[in-house]
Each structure stands twice: as C-alpha cells, then as structure tokens.
Structure 1
Amino acid sequence: MTNMVPWQQRLSTGTEGIQDEVVRLYQQTRQSKAYLPTMIWGTLQTEAYASVILRHVVEFLGVPDDVPAGVAKRMERQQVLYGGEHRFDVILGEQALYTNVGGPAVMRGQMERLLRDFDLPSLRLGVVPTAAEVGMVPEPGFNMYDDGRVHYELVSTGVDITDPDEIALHIKAFDILSGAACYGDDAKSLIGKALAFWGGP
C-alpha cells in the first residue's frame, strides 16, 4: 500500500504538528534506517541547520510560520539517540556534507555535531563517497521504520509505503548502499575533510 498526502495539507497549521508526529514515530520505532544523499538526517541536525531547513519549507510551501516551534520539536526527537532503546543505521551521501545549508558557520557546527555523536551506541553512520561505485541506479533519500514502513519526502508530498514486496526492495537497496559506504575511521575522515572545507580546525 502507498499513501500520499500533499505537504500543504499536512503542514496546514505549520511545522510543529508534523514534527510532533515524527517524535512519536521515532519513539515507537526500535530499528530505523535512513539514506540521505544530499542533506543531513533530521535526527542529527543542529538547531541552526534545522532552522534553515524548516525556514525554507515554510517559505517554499507558503504554510504558517512556526519555525521555532517546529525546530524545538525536531530537537526533542533527537532524544531517541541517547535513550538506549533505539538503533539507527544512517547512510549519508558525501554530497550531504557539502550541500550549503545556512553558510559556513552553520555547516561547521553541523560537521562538529556529526563527529561528536559519531560513536553513539545507538548510531551506525556511514558515508557513501562521491566517486564510489554503487550497484544500483541513483535513488532519492528515504527512511525505513522497523522494516515495515518506508517514507519519502518529495517536493510536493510525503509518500509512505507499507507493501511487503516494496519494503523488501528497499531493504535490498539499503544493503547495496551500505556496501558502498565508508564506516568508522574512513567515514570520520570524510566528515573531517568537510569540516576543514567549511573552515573548521
């Protein structure tokens, strides 16, 4: 089954409500997977980075402006990283480290955050190098929840997939991406290189 709801409908009262939905979803999920080729995963975003992202959403879609409240909820959702009951397998494209969200100061803080949280017991963070050969056609980013639901964020709508056969293909795709990703010290090195690019130490 596939469910599609336009963003302007879902965000008709602003960003806080949907962020609250995501908080509850993450609290209920024990095993989560995420692939983000061009931006930082929301649960690892700094407050400054998230503020820029949600500001763009509000201005692009023309929905009510409650960015501070939406950001506060996104920061609340991040508590699942520290609770010990959840496991997150996250793959970023190397481009995500260089997509300019808010300028060098925001990006420096974001790279520092990635390095600070890199070794959390709840987190397995990989980075697919820009020139890595990946055994599948390029795909947009997606999130998986307990291998039972896949969520895509498209320009105009959010898409949720729950059909088992489609879920199985997403698991296969995630495994292929994981095989192309760097982990451990190699991933840290790529993040450190991006930090230096943004003017960090």
Structure 2
Amino acid sequence: MQQHIQNNFIILTGGPGSGKTSLISALGQRGYATSTEAGRAIIRHNQIVDGPAVPWKDPAIFAELMLSWEMRSYDSAADNADLVFFDRGVPDIVGYLELSGLEVPAHVRKAAGIFRYNPTVFILPPWSEIFTQDTERKQTLEEAERTFHAMVSAYSDCGYALVEVPRVPISERVAFLIETIGAVT
C-alpha cells in the first residue's frame, strides 16, 4: 500500500485528560464525522474479559491492538469526503511506545508513513483544571504532561505541523478548530 494523504482526516491528540474526547463529542454533536479513541475502548474491552492488552499488563500488545484499531478507523472513514475528526491517530502509537521505553517496530513506523492524515494536527495541552482519573485513565497529571511531549515529538518526527488548541471552553475550542481548518485545507 502506498502512502495516501487524507486531507479531510483531522487528528486531535495530546495527553490524557486534556479534553480530546469531550471536544470530539462536541464536534459529533454538530454533525461532523468522528472516530473513537482506540486506547480507552481497548482498555474497557480488556477489563471486561480480564485480558492482557492494557498498558499496565502488556504495553506491547496494547500498542499492537491500538495500531490495528487506528488502521481500521482510517479505512472505515476512507469513503467520507467530509471532515472526519480522529481522537488520536497512527502516530500516537509511535509516541506511546517511545514514552513506554519500548522499541518502535518497523511495521509501526511504516504504518505511520502510509496512513497519513491532514498535515496539520491539533494537539491539546495538559490542563490541570479538567484533568481526572478513572478506571481506564490511570495516569497522573505528570504522566499526562510526559504523554503530551511524546506526542509532540512523534507527530513532529512524522512530518506533521502541530497547532496547540487553547485551554478555553469547548464551544470556543470547536470554533478555533473550524476556523483553523478553514485556513489550512
């Protein structure tokens, strides 16, 4: 498969608890196509069956399942000509593995090169006022900050231009995204 850039595929990334999922949900409520975050769904499913694919048991298998999920999400959205907002993307797996101190396998780097999104990626910075932990998000705020920096590095290394989303109410974040996308697409 050759590299194919989907300019209508917009990634939102960053550390946990930065408001990505809430922002994706708000975009969906406004009629935009969205994709579900791989990590939370994989954790939830593995907790139900007491499976090994959670970051605190087997981060490598967790990464493989996230990669599979992200490639499937990409393929599922491929026929959509409108904007599609992704709650993370394939390069997030590169960042996750590097953050975890694991080697990034060649096939993961290859996937990040093949499954290409809009060259502008929106990154949400850590935001202590909204950060919470739950049964799927066990990271601390410090880990969220490290994750943010790992995503900056991973996406930059994959050739994406990062735009930081301001720490403002969701309606203003949505307006910022739509205005910025209009300027870059």
> What TM-score range do you get, normalising by the shorter chain?
0.3 to 0.5
Task: Considering Cα pairs closer than 8 Å and 6+ residues apart, tell me whether 1 or 2 has the greater RCO.
Answer: 2
Higher normalized strand content (fraction of residues): 1
Bigger-Rg structure (1/2): 1
